[in-house]
């Protein structure tokens, strides 16, 4: 894992789920994090439930936390294991399309 990917994992891991009060790290929501090109990061996260009502908010929170990291120029967040994952991915990554 690159230094940038580790910084992303650390930063996004500190985000707090508003329903549980637990961090994303504690809930193990963050799956794969990769720096796919210099400054370009992809994050896969799995909400706690396949019907999590706040999955879009969680994805947007991850996106913003990652973009706030020095050295990140672009991020794509992928929701996995959710009933509406394709729609969530489309909305959260709309700026990249």
Q: pLDDT digit string (tens) for 25-59? A: 999 999 999 999 999 999 999 999 999 999 999 99
The predicted pLDDT at position 78 comes to 98
The predicted pLDDT at position 97 comes to 54
Number of structural domains found in the chain: 1
The predicted pLDDT at position 10 comes to 96
For position 90, which CATH number holds? 3.30.300.130
Q: Look up residue 29 and give its two tokens.
A: 């929501």
The predicted pLDDT at position 90 comes to 97
The predicted pLDDT at position 27 comes to 96
CA 97 – CA 92 distance, rounded (Å): 10
Residue 84: CA count within 13 A, CB half-sphere = 13
| Banded pLDDT at 2 (limits 50, 70, 90) | confident
Range of the domain at 52: 3-96
Q: Determine what percent of the chain is predicted with pLDDT higher than 90.
A: 95
The predicted pLDDT at position 95 comes to 80
Q: For strand 30-37 and strand 40-45, is the pairing parallel, antiparallel, or unpaired?
A: antiparallel
């Amino acid at each position: 894992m690159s230094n940038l990917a580790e910084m992303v994992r650390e930063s996004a891991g500190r985000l707090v789920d508003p329903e549980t009060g637990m961090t994303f790290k504690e809930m193990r929501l963050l799956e794969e994090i990769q720096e796919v090109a210099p400054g370009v990061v992809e994050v896969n996260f799995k909400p706690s439930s396949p019907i999590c009502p706040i999955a879009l908010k969680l994805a947007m929170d991850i996106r913003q936390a990652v973009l706030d990291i020095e050295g990140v120029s672009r991020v794509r967040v992928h929701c996995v294991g959710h009933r509406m994952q394709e729609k969530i991915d489309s909305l959260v990554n709309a700026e990249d399309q």
